[in-house]
Amino acid sequence: EIVLTQSPGTLSLSPGERATLSCRASQSVSSSYLAWYQQKPGQAPRLLIYGASSRATGIPDRFSGSESGTDFTLTISRLEPEDFAVYYCQQYGGSPYTFGQGTKLEIK
Amino acid sequence: EVQLVESGGGLVKPGGSLRLSCAASGFTFSSYSMNWVRQAPGKGLEWVSSISSCSSYIYYADSVKGRFTISRDNAKNSLYLQMDSLRAEDTAVYYCARVPVVGGTRGPMDVWGKGTTVTVSS
């Protein structure tokens, strides 16, 4: 089973700042099958990034994803008020399709 | 409009059973794999089960294997999760999610329902 470890647990930033969220996999993720989701309170998750770096339909270009080996990063270039939420990474290269524990992005 | 709507959640006693349904609309349901994902109160997301488009491939998380059964009816555009021998730790919001498959390769979960709440308590 691939374990995904997200850091930090909580990130406190102000609107307009740059956010960098990390997701480290315990082993190689097949064909970069790594996705990022955003979840706001009381809502279902929303797909942001797939294939480690491809934006899903309708996702603003301030969201970007990258990878380096087993380290994956979600970057939000300039935070908007609506970006404060919980973010999860997930690998879908093979069962079990594990999630990271989440990073809460909160307003400073 | 592409939509997934879960139903069937509720309060059940430990050891009891519940069957969740997910009604799909706005897309060709039979062309997609489907997942169930749950979220315990105040906790993160946990993948529960997956089923391929023709039900040929089925997978379960170890936490539910032997107790939960995923199935689908492509003629009715519906996904199901039969949950037996329920435990307190199964208390969660259960989401169904769509999984595109391109060239035999699974994609991420690109459409999610709003979820249905399951509470296991005496």
pLDDT of A30 above 90? no
Q: Mutation test of the interface with chain B: which of A29, A34, A46, A47, choosing the one with the most B Cβ atoms within 10 A?
A: A47
Residue of A nearest to B101 (CA): A92
**DSSP string for residues in A2-26:** --EEEE-SEEEE-TTS-EEEEEEES
Q: Tell me the C-alpha distance between B76 and B67, whole Å.
A: 24
Instruction: Give the Cβ contact number of residue A41 at 10 Å.
Output: 6
Query: For residue A81, which amino acid is it?
Result: P
CB-neighbour burial class of residue A62 (10 A; exposed 0-12, middle 13-18, buried 19+): middle
Q: Tell me the C-alpha distance between B23 and B60, whole Å.
A: 21
**DSSP string for residues in chain B:** --EEEEE--EEE-TT--EEEEEEEESS-GGGSEEEEEEE-TT--EEEEEEE-TTS--EEE-TTTTTTEEEEEEGGGTEEEEEE-S--GGG-EEEEEEEE-EETTEE----EE---EEEEE--
In this prediction, residues A53-68 reach a mean pLDDT of: 97
Are B45 and A47 in contact (CB < 8 Å)? no
CB-neighbour burial class of residue A92 (10 A; exposed 0-12, middle 13-18, buried 19+): buried
Per-residue pLDDT 10s for chain B (122 aa) are: 999 999 999 999 999 999 999 999 999 999 999 999 999 999 999 999 999 999 999 999 999 999 999 999 999 999 999 999 999 999 999 999 999 998 888 899 999 999 999 999 99
Mean pLDDT of chain A: 96
Which residue in the set B44, B110, B115 is minimally distant from A47, CB to CB? Answer: B110
Nearest-CA distance B118 → chain A (Å): 15
Q: Of A25-34, A46-55, B21-30, which range is least confident?
A: A25-34
Are A50 and B61 in contact (CB < 8 Å)? no
